[in-house]
Amino acid sequence: MQMNDYIELIDHKLDEFIPIEYPQTIFNSMKYTVTLPGKRLRPILCLETCRMLGGEVNDAIPTACAIEMLHAQTLIHDDLPCMDNDDYRRGKLTNHKIFGEAIAVLAGDALLTWAPQVIVKHSKNLEPSILIRILNEYFKFAGANGVIAGQVVDIESENNQDIEDKEKTLEYLHLHKTSDLFQLAMRSGAIIAGASDEKIEAVTEFAKTFGLAFQVADDILDEISTFEQMGKTLGKDKLEGKLTYVSLYGLEEAKCKLSCLFEKCHGIMEKQNLKSEIIVDMIKKIKKRAGI
Amino acid sequence: MQMNDYIELIDHKLDEFIPIEYPQTIFNSMKYTVTLPGKRLRPILCLETCRMLGGEVNDAIPTACAIEMLHAQTLIHDDLPCMDNDDYRRGKLTNHKIFGEAIAVLAGDALLTWAPQVIVKHSKNLEPSILIRILNEYFKFAGANGVIAGQVVDIESENNQDIEDKEKTLEYLHLHKTSDLFQLAMRSGAIIAGASDEKIEAVTEFAKTFGLAFQVADDILDEISTFEQMGKTLGKDKLEGKLTYVSLYGLEEAKCKLSCLFEKCHGIMEKQNLKSEIIVDMIKKIKKRAGI
Higher pLDDT, B235 or B41: B41
Give me the residue from B109, B139, B142 closest to A148, CB to CB.
Answer: B109
Specify the pLDDT at position B241.
74
Residue contact A106–B151, C-beta within 8 A:
yes
Higher pLDDT, B258 or B165: B258
Which value, in Å, is the radius of gyration of the alpha carbons in chain A? Answer: 18
User: pLDDT of B52-103, one tens digit each?
Assistant: 999 999 999 999 999 999 999 999 999 999 999 999 998 999 999 999 999 9
d(CA B129, CA B35): 31
**What is chain A's percent helix, strand, coil content, to nearest 5?**
75, 0, 25
> In a 3-state reduction of DSSP, which class is residue A2?
coil
Instruction: Determine the Cα angle at A212 with ends A208 and A214, to 5°.
Output: 115
Specify the pLDDT at position A138.
98
Instruction: Find the range with the poorest average confidence among A5-14, B188-197, B230-239.
Output: B230-239
What percent of chain B is modeled with pLDDT above 90?
86
> In a 3-state reduction of DSSP, which class is residue A185?
helix
How many Cα atoms are found within 13 Å in the side-chain-facing hemisphere of B218?
Answer: 17
Asked if A80 has any chain B CB less than 8 Å from its own CB, the reply is: yes
What one-character-per-residue DSSP string does A142-184 give? HSTTTHHHHHHHHHHHTT-TT-S-HHHHHHHHHIIIIIHHHHH
User: pLDDT of B19-59, one tens digit each?
Assistant: 999 999 999 999 999 999 999 999 999 999 999 999 999 99
Q: Which residues pair with B89 in a beta bridge?
A: B92
**Cβ neighbours of residue B173 under 8 Å, at least 6 residues apart?**
B150, B153, B154, B157, B243
Q: Is omega for the bond preceding A62 within 30 degrees of 0, making it cis?
A: no
Q: φ, ψ for residue B77 (rounded to 5)?
A: -75, -35
Per-residue pLDDT at B235 exceeds 80 = no
What one-character-per-residue DSSP string does A79-132 give? TSTTTT--SEETTEE-HHHHH-HHHHHHHHHHHHHHHHHHHHHH-TTS-HHHHH
- CB A189 within 8 Å of CB A64: yes
ipTM of the prediction: 0.95
pLDDT category at B259 given cuts 50, 70, 90 is: very high
d(CA B282, CA B292): 14
Asked if B155 has any chain A CB less than 8 Å from its own CB, the reply is: yes
Asked if A143 has any chain B CB less than 8 Å from its own CB, the reply is: yes
Asked if A114 has any chain B CB less than 8 Å from its own CB, the reply is: yes
Specify the pLDDT at position A198.
97
Specify the pLDDT at position A162.
82
Amino acid identity, position B237: D
Specify the pLDDT at position B163.
84
- A to B CB pairs, distance under 8 Å: 132
For residue B92, the surrounding DSSP H or E stretch is strand B92-93
Per-residue pLDDT at B239 exceeds 90 = no
pLDDT category at B111 given cuts 50, 70, 90 is: very high
What percent of chain B is modeled with pLDDT above 70?
97
Residue contact B152–A106, C-beta within 8 A:
yes
Residue contact A152–B100, C-beta within 8 A:
no
Q: Looking at chain A from residue 22 to 51, which residues have their Cβ under 8 Å from any Cβ of chain B?
A: 22-23, 25-27, 30
Among B241, B221, B206, B208, smallest CA distance to B289 is for B221
Q: Which residues pair with A92 in a beta bridge?
A: A89
**Single pTM value for the model:** 0.96
Residue contact A22–B155, C-beta within 8 A:
no
Among A172, A229, A207, smallest CA distance to A283 is for A207
- CB A88 within 8 Å of CB A94: yes
Tell me the pLDDT of chain A (292 aa) as tens digits.
899 999 999 999 999 999 999 999 999 999 999 999 999 999 999 999 999 999 999 999 999 999 999 999 999 999 999 999 999 998 899 999 999 999 999 999 999 999 999 999 999 999 999 999 999 999 999 999 999 999 999 999 887 878 888 899 999 999 999 999 999 999 999 999 999 999 999 999 999 999 999 999 999 998 888 766 767 776 677 767 778 889 889 999 999 999 999 999 999 999 999 999 999 999 999 999 998 8
Q: Which residues pair with A89 in a beta bridge?
A: A92
Residue contact A105–B105, C-beta within 8 A:
yes
Specify the pLDDT at position B20.
98
Per-residue pLDDT at B171 exceeds 80 = yes
- CB B114 within 8 Å of CB B30: yes
Per-residue pLDDT at B173 exceeds 80 = yes
Q: Which residues pair with A93 in a beta bridge?
A: A88
Specify the pLDDT at position B158.
84
Among B239, B257, B79, B64, smallest CA distance to B174 is for B257
Domains of chain A, residue spans: 3-282
Q: Looking at chain A from residue 211 to 240, which residues have their Cβ under 8 Å from any Cβ of chain B?
A: none
Q: How far is A91 from chain B (nearest CA, A)?
A: 24
Residue contact A155–B103, C-beta within 8 A:
yes
Q: Once rounded to an integer, what is the mean pLDDT over residues B197-204?
A: 98
Q: How far is A189 from chain B (nearest CA, A)?
A: 20
Architecture per CATH, B3-289: Orthogonal Bundle (1.10)
- CB B224 within 8 Å of CB B291: yes
Minimal-distance CA residue of chain B relative to A154:
B23
Asked if A21 has any chain B CB less than 8 Å from its own CB, the reply is: yes
Superfamily of domain A3-282: Farnesyl Diphosphate Synthase (1.10.600.10)
Residue contact B113–A143, C-beta within 8 A:
yes
